Structure 1
């Protein structure tokens, strides 16, 4: 049923765009016959807007992976650098939350560890929406910030790092077998806001998968039972994402999607001082408005990364989508 709904949505969109294009072409012809420049200008603007929508649909046609239509987890971890890096991790959390809200996706915070003075040490959120994982999957990697630190009394320029890891929410149709004897389960007291109860009981759950050393944790619920169930789902998702990555590497090692995250593997730089620039180091796409990007304006970067990933284009080059 979900596949049928997806196909119907795509077909209806194509039919709507075709009809709107035809209507606006007729308006231009009518405007030329009557010499009405306003009608012509309005119709041409409408066609330009249609083109932008079509370009986006072309990119969406690339989202054909078996998990692309699923909801998505986003895990953010601050790098070395104390308060500055923790503040940067919090900025990234806000950026992805804003992006999700702009695309009418729902965001649920599953786990968050606050920094000592400001920001966060780590956080995991779930983004719920059609093709959430497909759009977000190219965001995995290390993100670099350069700015004058508001936490430096001498107003020096600082470089901070934070890692982002995106993996799909696994639905019931995907069977992931986990041997519980391969896992270590720890409970601990949740941190952050949540009232007296959440801070006085060991409701938070951490599961470590020993063969792969994958660690997941959840503290979003007051009930340890609910947090445990969510953590198991997160572990299944991480193991599934790991299997997808292995398959992709085997199929085409040169065009493998996400490599193991390391602090030397920046995918994007955000420079706030001494100049204003956000640059994706994989595709060459740039923005001279970092504040817009940090407010969730990420579509240009995601679209370029998706096209680059599928077509193997060179840096800065987006090959045409048939």
Structure 2
């Protein structure tokens, strides 16, 4: 029945990149082929990328020598930060070259033995690290938006289906936390409002690593869990909305806000991730944009967090509308979060996940809910890049 949708048995499955499971299921031949493909990709890309990054690093270093730091301290700091980031990438690429050689050597040693599973697994683990870095590097080159390099605050809100939407929102929260772990990072659940059903009414996760916003911006919008594509008497649609807000890691936005434009209120806290402090809710009256914060340890800290989120959302809207000041924002042109369809997760006739922004479909619902959403992220980044170039 429709009311049993979210209790539909979805068998638990490990991640598709779970090293132990992949090792056991693919078999020795498939693993060797996977290692060979990754090593070949690394040998083709790593030297070229390393040379390019080293040349860019030298160029930036020379530019800094000719620059008068006192002319523009802010710009100087930005240039120094970029130079430091470039140096880190160069160091990582050099380390990657060693990993590629290690993977080749270990694989060759494994082949001298009839079946040396330990060595093959070791080479596979090295190839996973190689592939992960190259994927992230290639993605960073696609992300050129004004806020892509920043961290991200991801806000999940349950729809109006009560217990079922709340359970669905909790599953999405788990999906994003697992995704971050697979990238080698941690998603910090800063705010979480649980419900009696075992689900959540809302939650906020902060991803404090570079390019998190660029990776996740395509997740913004409505995520639909559907029992079936067919609109029968058993057809059920359960909604949750995801918002993605830039999280400025190194600098704080200096966007000036008029206090007279802010409607501030303090609500009883339902957050169960920290101490009980009032929820700070702020609405920007001219645009109608609302934000709130409840995950910090004091009312003042929550107020500052909410203000920073409001500024970040306003900056995004200004960028989307191509305006340079708050007074030029067209309120009617601001797209409602609940009017943006992002993804459909279907239980019947097969466990299919369809991304509505890019058209990408994945046939393994369990794998997606286990955090394997990079195909959607990569497709949206490529789509944005192609649109910007066009």
Work out whether the TM-score is over 0.5.
yes
Which of 137, 143, 164 lines up with 2:242 in the alignment? Answer: 164
The TM-score normalised by the length of structure 2 is 0.64
Which of 262, 281, 304 lines up with 2:379 in the alignment? Answer: 304
Q: Distance in 1 between matches of 2:132 and 2:267?
A: 49
Which of 261, 267, 289 lines up with 1:188 in the alignment? Answer: 267
Deviates more, 1:119-128 or 1:295-304: 119-128
Answering whether residue 298 of structure 2 is matched by residue 218 of structure 1, we say no
Which of 114, 129, 150 lines up with 2:194 in the alignment? Answer: 114
SS of the aligned residue for 2:371 comes to coil
Distance 1:187 1:51, change over 3 A: closer
Cα shift at 1:207:
0.8
Q: Distance in 1 between matches of 2:113 and 2:343?
A: 47
Residue equivalent to 2:254: 175
Residue equivalent to 2:141: 61
Cα deviation digits, residues 119-171 of structure 1 (max 9, x gap): 222222221112211211121121111249xxxxxx95521111111120135
Q: Distance in 2 between matches of 1:205 and 1:133?
A: 23
Q: Distance in 2 between matches of 1:134 and 1:194?
A: 27
Is the contact made by 1:104 and 1:129 (CA closer than 8 Å) also made in structure 2?
Answer: no
Cα shift at 1:262:
5.1
Larger gyration radius, structure 1 or structure 2: 2
Which of 256, 281, 284 lines up with 2:356 in the alignment? Answer: 281
Superposed, 1:205-284 pairs within 5 Å as 205-247=280-322, 260-261=335-336, 263=338, 265-284=340-359
Is the contact made by 2:167 and 2:197 (CA closer than 8 Å) also made in structure 1?
Answer: no
Q: Distance in 2 between matches of 1:44 and 1:190?
A: 50
Is the contact made by 1:157 and 1:273 (CA closer than 8 Å) also made in structure 2?
Answer: no
Is the contact made by 1:133 and 1:167 (CA closer than 8 Å) also made in structure 2?
Answer: yes
SS of the aligned residue for 1:75 comes to strand
Q: Distance in 2 between matches of 1:168 and 1:66?
A: 10
SS of the aligned residue for 1:167 comes to strand
Q: Distance in 2 between matches of 1:69 and 1:56?
A: 12
SS of the aligned residue for 2:322 comes to helix
Residue equivalent to 1:151: none
Q: Distance in 2 between matches of 1:144 and 1:206?
A: 27
Q: Distance in 2 between matches of 1:21 and 1:221?
A: 43
Answering whether residue 207 of structure 2 is matched by residue 132 of structure 1, we say no
Cα shift at 1:35:
9.6
Residue equivalent to 2:153: 73
The TM-score normalised by the length of structure 1 is 0.76
Q: Distance in 1 between matches of 2:208 and 2:103?
A: 35
Choose between structure 1 and 2: higher strand proportion: 1
Gap runs ≥5 in structure 2: 1-79, 324-333
Q: Distance in 1 between matches of 2:102 and 2:142?
A: 28
Cα shift at 1:241:
2.0
Q: Distance in 2 between matches of 1:223 and 1:36?
A: 62
Task: Note the aligned Cα RMSD (angstroms).
Answer: 3.6
Cα shift at 1:20:
5.4
Q: Distance in 1 between matches of 2:297 and 2:123?
A: 55
Q: Distance in 1 between matches of 2:272 and 2:360?
A: 38
Is the contact made by 2:187 and 2:208 (CA closer than 8 Å) also made in structure 1?
Answer: yes
Is the contact made by 2:103 and 2:127 (CA closer than 8 Å) also made in structure 1?
Answer: no
Residue equivalent to 2:39: none
Aligned residues: 290
Distance 1:269 1:19, change over 3 A: same
Q: Distance in 1 between matches of 2:273 and 2:105?
A: 59
Cα shift at 1:178:
0.8
SS of the aligned residue for 1:232 comes to helix
Deviates more, 1:52-61 or 1:129-138: 52-61
